[in-house]
Amino acid sequence: MLTQGIGQGTAAVRLVAVEKVYGRGDNEVAVLKRLSLDFAAGSFTAVMGPSGSGKSTFLHCSAGLVKPTRGTVLIGDTDLADLDEVGLTRLRRDRIGFVFQSYNLLPALTVRQNIVLPSQLAGRRPNRSQVLAVVDRVGLADRLDHLPGQLSGGQQQRVAIARALVTRPAVVFADEPTGALDTRTAAAVLGLLRETVDAGGQTLVMVTHDPVAASYADRVVFLADGRFAGELHRPTAEAVAARMTRLGAWNDATVPASAAVRSEGGR
């Protein structure tokens, strides 16, 4: 029998009955409640839900950044509970990429230095051809010697994506990667993330609040009150917005204007 949200086939990421509780006694707050999901290898999944639905906690537990209170998280066939801190660090370094909404670039380092930093911290010599290939994909070949402060927001996000991709991780987690970008720049970044899956065969899990961003994904998973609340396959922005409205995330006055028009780059 399949657990809710879990399908057949190879899973790059799997959560089984995951719970995350903060506080104790009267102050106890359950953020994730027996959440079971899987994400197929080579797929692009958007994760959405109302404010407080547990999206960020889900992402952090899935990436091994936060330890769940109960339940199982697997990356491929590796159970994160079996790893100590050194093992978790190694797994995040070698098999996981993370794209933060705030970019998390070091302002004193050039674009090139920011991109190769994960390899250097791991004590490995960066693969020059691999770095150049990633830089070419993100369109930053003429910005390698620039500092982050000399770049636009979209260019900084491209650096963050390149840094996440350069080690060729099996799974890339992205936390609101277009939340601070204008519509045009967001479309370019989303197209790049889509290409990462289509051309690179990597697995991408993206938390977003934007129905247009979600329309680039193969599948949208909805969370509500820390639980699985349904999914859409080959989503449109309109269908995503309608589902979010039914979940109580929006009303007619708060539905994002972008939800009314499907992005040209969406699937």
Task: Convert the pLDDT of each residue in 144-168 to its tens digit.
Answer: 999 999 999 989 999 999 999 888 8
Residue 38 binned pLDDT confidence (cut-offs 50, 70, 90): very high
In this prediction, residue 26 has a pLDDT band, given cuts at 50, 70 and 90, of confident
Those residues whose C-beta lies under 8 Å from the C-beta of residue 234, and which sit 6 or more positions away, are 218, 219, 267
**Structure tokens belonging to residue 76:** 């491929």
How many CB atoms neighbour CB 47 within 10 A? Answer: 28
Length of the chain: 267
Confidence at residue 2, expressed as pLDDT on a 0 to 100 scale? 33
Question: Does residue 196 sit within a domain?
Answer: yes
- The answer to the question of residue 15 being in a domain is yes
Q: Is residue 96 part of a domain?
A: yes
CATH number of the domain at 149, please: 3.40.50.300
Task: Examine residue 6 and state whether it is found in any structural domain, yes or no.
Answer: no
**Does residue 120 sit within a domain?**
yes
Cα 16 to Cα 54, 70, 138, 227, distances in angstroms: 15, 9, 35, 12
Please check whether residue 3 lies inside any domain of the structure. Answer: no
**Short-list 166, 223, 209, 174, CA closest to 44:** 174
Side-chain half-sphere of 62: how many Cα atoms within 13 Å? Answer: 30
Task: Tell which wins on pLDDT, 46 or 27.
Answer: 46
Starting at the earlier edge strand, list the strands of the sheet with 29-40: 29-40, 11-22, 70-75, 78-79
Region 236-254 average pLDDT: 80
Structural tokens at position 15: 């959560």
Q: pLDDT category, 78, cuts 50, 70, 90?
A: very high
Question: Nearest Cα to 192, choosing from 160, 231, 233?
Answer: 160
Q: What's the pLDDT tens digit per position in 167-213?
A: 889 999 999 998 888 888 889 889 989 998 998 889 999 999 999 99
pLDDT reported for residue 263: 41
Nearest alpha carbon to residue 171 among 223, 93, 115: 93
What is the number of domains present in the chain? Answer: 1
The predicted structure's pLDDT at residue 265: 42
Query: Domain range for residue 30?
Result: 11-260
Structural domain includes residue 2 = no
* Domain-embedded: residue 209: yes
The pTM for the full model equals 0.86
